[in-house]
Amino acid sequence: MESPRDSREFNTRDQDWAALIRRVADGDQSALTTLYDATSRFVFGLILRVVGDRATAEEVLLDVYTQAWRQAASYDEQRGAPLAWLMTIARTRGIDRLRSGRYERHNKEPLESMGDVTATTSSPEEDSVIAERRGLVHSALDALSTEQREVIELAYYSGLSHSEIALRLGQPLGTVKTRTRLGMMKLREMLRPVLEGQI
């Protein structure tokens, strides 16, 4: 059984953002603006990757922070860092928009092709913790086999179910499940320093 997340596992930035979320829960609009200023470029990057269209991504971004405003009281530090909470809302919202079928996705570039954007748009405030974590996640994804990364990306970014992935790839369902399980286990192993709060 996993032990509760120790407060020491939160770095200073996480603590600051968690404090902002608590103020948002109390109805402090300026705290939401500060949180938006600090995190929106990360959240927007993910939404853009999921929906693949800037205009749609902008609508979803507003939805994400509006939802954060409404549900800040539900944020639980024991279950994840503030940015992870926002990213989870962002992915859910983005995939909801994809599934709504109201528009057709155009951008199907792989994750790696957006690396240049990171290099040119990262802010001076982007601290070393985020850079280190991003590097670790990239390394972890690189450590997967092409087949494992493919199924995880189709589930994560496109919101496809295992049977939809199997259909898309022309692979048996059991193969997709196995690749997903092995890929996720490898990611967990590679990301253990982050999961254990060392970064």
Partner 1 sequence: MKHDRITRTEQENAALYALGALSQHEAHAFEAHLGDDCQVCDAELKQFEKVVALLGEATASVPPSSYLRDLLTVRVEREAQTASPLSASVIRFPEKPAVTPQKIAAARAPFGKMLLPWAVAAALLMALLATVTVWLAQRRSQGLDKDAIAAVQRENSDLRDQFANETAKSAELAQINSVLTATRWQIVPMAGQDPAPESSAKIYWDLPAARWVVTADLPPAPEGKVYQLWFVTPEAKVSAGLIAPDKKGHGFKVLELPPGIGNIAAAAITLEPEGGSQQPTMPIYVLGKTS
Q: Which residues 129-168 are close enough to bind partner 1 by CB under 8 A?
A: 130, 133-134, 137-138, 141, 152, 155-156, 159-163, 165
169 contributes a contact to partner 1 by CB under 8 A: no
Question: Which distant-in-sequence residues (6+ apart) come within 8 Å of 1 by Cβ?
Answer: none
Question: Which distant-in-sequence residues (6+ apart) come within 8 Å of 130 by Cβ?
Answer: 13, 42, 83
Please say whether the beta carbons of 50 and 157 come within 8 A.
yes
Residue number, 15 or 138, with CB nearest to partner 1:
138
At its nearest, how many Å lie between partner 1 and the CB of residue 2?
Answer: 5
**Which of 92, 107, 171, 175 is close enough to bind partner 1 by CB under 8 A?**
92
95 contributes a contact to partner 1 by CB under 8 A: yes
How many helices (H) and strands (E) the chain has is answered by 10, 0
Q: Which helix (H) or strand (E) holds 54?
A: helix 54-71
75 contributes a contact to partner 1 by CB under 8 A: yes
Total residues at interface with partner 1 (CB under 8 A): 83
Question: Which distant-in-sequence residues (6+ apart) come within 8 Å of 74 by Cβ?
Answer: none
Please say whether the beta carbons of 193 and 136 come within 8 A.
yes
Using CB under 8 A, which residues numbered 5 to 34 contact partner 1?
Answer: 24-27, 29, 32-33
Locate 170 and state its tokens. Answer: 């022309």
Using CB under 8 A, which residues numbered 27 to 66 contact partner 1?
Answer: 27, 29, 32-33, 36-37, 40-42, 44-46, 48-49, 57-58, 61-62, 65-66
80 contributes a contact to partner 1 by CB under 8 A: yes
The one segment of 8-16, 100-108, 122-130 that binds partner 1 by CB under 8 A: 122-130
